[in-house]
Amino acid sequence: MNGSYAPPVQRLVTELSKLPGVGNRTAQRLAFHILRTSAEDAAALAEAIREVKEKIGLCEVCFNLTDEARCRICQDPRRDHGVICVVEEPSDVIPMERTHEYHGVYHVLGGALSPIDGVDPEDLKVAELLARASSGESAVREVVLATNPTTTGEATALHIAEELRVRAPNLSVTRLASGLPVGSDLEYADEVTLGKALAGRRAV
């Protein structure tokens, strides 16, 4: 950081550079953009940040982000509450909703299992999912495991599937299919992706 900047500007650049994907240069550009905007726009940005930190919490049922006790999806009577889609982070709900193909509810784990990083089942919302899915009062028919297709995501899905098989043997546990993206060519597919696509082939 250039020492010739005034301390408030230096502080703004430092704070902006803490954001994911924002390096020092991008932080400087953002800082100067904020300096060029009107006082009203800068105040609106600051107020939006303050408001989201004060008002946004986790849904008491699915642990998605919400400004109420229960998120809008959990409150929606039109959703199929018998199907729970398990995702790692609240941001994973957005692409699922964008498909307009899924009409059930969600359960946000808050991460993925990673013993190397010290993330165990107790650090995630796994116990809450198991209680929600295996409760005798619940009408849950299916749990869709939509964790990321990474090493930690796969380990998380396997752990949950095993636990659900023990606690709720009649429950249908499914995993999102992995394979070739639409519009891609076989020659550009890596072996793992192609192998997943082959293993998950279906009748046409």
Q: What integer pLDDT is reported at residue 190 of this predicted model?
A: 82
CA of 37: how far to CAs of 16, 30, 31, 44, 151, in Å? Answer: 16, 11, 10, 11, 44
Distance of CA 183 to the CA centre of its chain: 25
d(CA 8, CA 98): 40
CATH number belonging to domain 7-55: 1.10.8.420
Residues 80-175, CATH architecture: 3-Layer(aba) Sandwich (3.40)
Structure confidence at residue 136 (pLDDT): 65
Closest CA to 178 of 156, 198, 204: 198
- The segment(s) of the chain belonging to CATH 1.10.8.420 are 7-55
Write the pLDDT tens digit of every residue in 107-166.
Answer: 999 999 998 889 999 999 999 999 999 876 668 999 999 999 889 999 999 999 999 999
pLDDT at 179: 81
Task: Please tell me the pTM assigned to this model.
Answer: 0.84
Residue 202: per-residue pLDDT = 77
Write down the pLDDT at residue 139: 87
CATH 3.40.1360.10, the chain: domain bounds:
80-175
- Over the stretch 50-100, which tens digit does the pLDDT of each residue have? 999 999 999 999 999 999 999 999 999 999 999 999 999 999 999 999 989
- C-alpha distances in Å from residue 71, one per residue of 76, 147, 188: 9, 20, 41
